[in-house]
Structure 1
Amino acid sequence: MMALWNHVTLERPPYTMWQIKTLDAKRTGIDVSRFKKILSTVIHDFESMDDLYRNVAVLSRLIYRMKNKFRNDKGFMSMVRLDKALDNCYRMCLKNDYVTLKSLIQMRDGMYSLPSRQNLEYVLARTQGFGKLMTRIENMSWIASHYFISRIKLGHVWNVALIALATVCRIWFHTRYILSKCCFWYDELYRYAPQFQYVGAKPWLPNDQSLPHNLKSWLCVDWDLSHNSFTGQQLIRQIMSQEYSNIINEKINTLMLDEEIDNSEIDDSETDNSRLTQNIEVTSNNNIKNKSLSNNDTEDIGEVIDRETFVSSSSNLSPNDGSTAIKRKHMNLDQGKSFKKSKIRRK
């Protein structure tokens, strides 16, 4: 039997509730206000994933633009697997499960109406599958970034690889941050599972399956990142400030080098332009000289040079030294007419 966390669509238990008095809840250690606060933080964390969704949209557009040229590339195939995992994560709709779980918490006449243990275990199982999917996304983004870094080192289509690397790295960073939050959500909600009551005789979990006590150890996550959003924002600002200062220093150095190169190119360009004009004048004079020696070529179709300008330009030229060989491309007009007449007579 497949594990519950591995199902894309999991059949949920019925919406059932059980009641407990406020004094009994305090005596048994059920902190309803904290439970409701945890659900509110989870919903807020899901609503603050706009930056991840933007990068996922950029990733899908990059895959569409790169699928023809990079269809056999290992980095591109890793991007396709990453996009598929992100699509499965989006189709889980875990936020709706937390919203419905929060809506089941009610208070009437000094009595708490709480969701059943089956509903809480269902949300925990879905959170477990969400965390496993996040580990796959983190792993595939790391593999794709490895291939794109090697492509940048080789220098082959490095500009496209750099854009793909930046997008994948941002997804990798957001995935790690969400995965740390997911472990925090699971550990906080799992504390209330033994305290909640089953509604009905049949439990929701099968006999051969159970929920892990610690999600981080079950996922084999060997890195640590605080779940607090404020520390995550500080880390992002620190990284961006260091990178921003390095980029500014590099831009200043490149601008100074470009100015030096431009000044040197201006001095050389002035001398080179004078040489180019001299060469153009010499070649034009030689062409006119060659054309003046062939009288038959001046009568061709498309010839625009007047004979007066032709004679005046040829008079200023030096006499021909015989170094250039002149070849006649066309025969005389009289010869052409006689050749056509001979053809007609033969026919």
Structure 2
Amino acid sequence: MLDPWNDQSLLPPPINTFFCKHKLDLKELTYTTNNIVHILSRQSPLHKESAILSRFLYKFDKKFRNDIGYRNFKKVNTALKKYLTLNLLKDVENFSSYLPKENDNELYLPTRQMLEYILIRIVSFSKLMLRIVVCSKQSAIFYLDRIKRGESHWMCLMPYALLSRIWSMSLVLLQHSCNWYNQLHQVVDKLEVKGLPFLPLDYKLPDDLEEWLDMKNLNSHCSFNWTCKIKINIEAIAMEDDSGDLCESILDYVSQINENTDTADEHDIKLPSIIETFHTEDVQLKQSDVGVAVPRNILGKSADPPVGNKNKAAIHSIDTVTNFNSLKDFINKEEVLRNELNDNALTSHLSFMQWQALKTCLLNLDTNKNVPRKLQRKVERIWQEKCLDYK
């Protein structure tokens, strides 16, 4: 059985009122309903963005049909269609029309079933907004990643901007819906029941909608694990020697660990030191000739080049670029190494589109106006941004 907030065929309860004998803060209830009507009646920007989104889906369905970000893009469109079918504005207007006015002498209020129906509709509205927020941000992550990699960036800028606007508007509506629910839920117990109950006997409305939707962990729901970069604090890990200086090499670090293990308690189990294990492994490898491990990625490649070619390959570096001629030689040589799948290629980890973007930025440098030192600094900056940062 579906929950009431997830049931599209849920019918509203019969319209009825009761005479309220106890005191009730009618101003707060009227203010909340008027606020809902005022905000929901001004959502024409969201409707325009949803219309643009549907036209984008119609035009680029064949181009991006196998893209993961495009699938989440279609989920946003489906949630927006359900938002249009959920006419929360009309339900709240009907409920507010039965609230007594300030000039009325007798206080007749709607029944509890009518307010419970409004709360159920607000929960459905908040669930749809949460779905739009999550799917739009997940889809925008994929489009932003393609923009950074330079793959169809002109075709990805428009959906990325569109998703950003929809995400911001739906997030504001989600926060508003939580406030509306919490304000109206305080009045439920003060209204009387007339006729049959509206909700099932085993169903209970959530006391706090923000806690029920887990709004605190909203950012973790919208992101992926591969988008979170782990930052390691090297200063906290690095050890210092007696003079206060950091260890200069890994061997100093290993020797300090061995000294700490030697000064441990005699009752503890003494483990072999790290350097000793290194020496014993080296002796065992020397005694038993196990051959040379050959990786699979070099199968089918040519044999080792002669000594002269090795010296030339060692010179192949971005540091050798000083003028426009050396820059062209470096790019041509890197192009040849990439085509041959050579291990000496410095951009072997880049895709074809990333390499084209890097090569275009390097060739577009105005070498006539730049001093060789400035040119070298610009080349190093472009190399860092478009090559080294992708490792």
Same fold at TM > 0.5: yes
Matched residue SS, 1:206: coil
- Aligned match of 2:109: 114
1:5 maps to 2:5: yes
Matched residue pairs, number? Answer: 221
Which structure's relative contact order is higher, taking Cα pairs within 8 Å and 6+ residues apart? 1
Amino acid at match of 2:14: P
Residue of structure 2 aligned with 1:210, choices 163, 179, 204: 204
What are structure 2's unaligned runs of at least 5 residues?
Answer: 219-364, 370-391
Report matched runs for 1:146-225 at 5 Å. Answer: 146-200=141-195, 202-222=196-216
- Aligned match of 1:306: none
CA deviation profile, 1:186-205 (whole Å, cap 9, x unmatched)? 000001000001112x2111
1:61 maps to 2:40: no
Query: How far off is 1:223 after superposition?
Result: 6.4
- Aligned match of 1:282: none
The answer to whether the 8 A contact 1:106-1:112 is kept is yes
Report matched runs for 1:267-306 at 5 Å. Answer: none
Query: How far off is 1:158 after superposition?
Result: 0.6
Query: How far off is 1:103 after superposition?
Result: 0.7
Query: How far off is 1:7 after superposition?
Result: 1.2
Cα separation, 1, equivalents of 2:162 and 2:19 = 49
Amino acid at match of 2:77: D
The answer to whether the 8 A contact 1:145-1:169 is kept is yes
- Aligned match of 1:17: 17
The answer to whether the 8 A contact 1:78-1:141 is kept is yes
Amino acid at match of 2:97: S
- Aligned match of 2:127: 132
Cα separation, 2, equivalents of 1:99 and 1:163 = 37
Matched residue SS, 2:30: helix
Amino acid at match of 2:90: N
Q: Percent identity?
A: 31
Report matched runs for 1:208-247 at 5 Å. Answer: 208-222=202-216
1:38 maps to 2:32: yes
Amino acid at match of 1:7: D
Q: 1:109 to 1:131 in 2, by over 3 A?
A: closer
Amino acid at match of 2:126: G
Cα separation, 1, equivalents of 2:96 and 2:170 = 25
CA deviation profile, 1:3-57 (whole Å, cap 9, x unmatched)? 101112311111111122xxx443xxx1112211110001001012222222111
Cα separation, 1, equivalents of 2:120 and 2:217 = 23
Matched residue SS, 1:163: helix
**Structure with a larger share of its residues in helix:** 1
Matched residue SS, 1:167: helix
Matched residue SS, 1:222: helix
- Aligned match of 2:73: 79
The answer to whether the 8 A contact 1:105-1:113 is kept is yes
Amino acid at match of 1:89: Y
Query: How far off is 1:137 after superposition?
Result: 0.8
Amino acid at match of 1:2: L
1:93 maps to 2:87: yes
Cα separation, 1, equivalents of 2:166 and 2:124 = 19
Cα separation, 1, equivalents of 2:54 and 2:155 = 14
- Aligned match of 1:141: 136
CA deviation profile, 1:103-135 (whole Å, cap 9, x unmatched)? 111357511221110000011011111111111
Amino acid at match of 2:19: Q
What are structure 1's unaligned runs of at least 5 residues?
Answer: 225-259, 265-347
Matched residue SS, 2:107: strand
The answer to whether the 8 A contact 1:17-1:114 is kept is yes
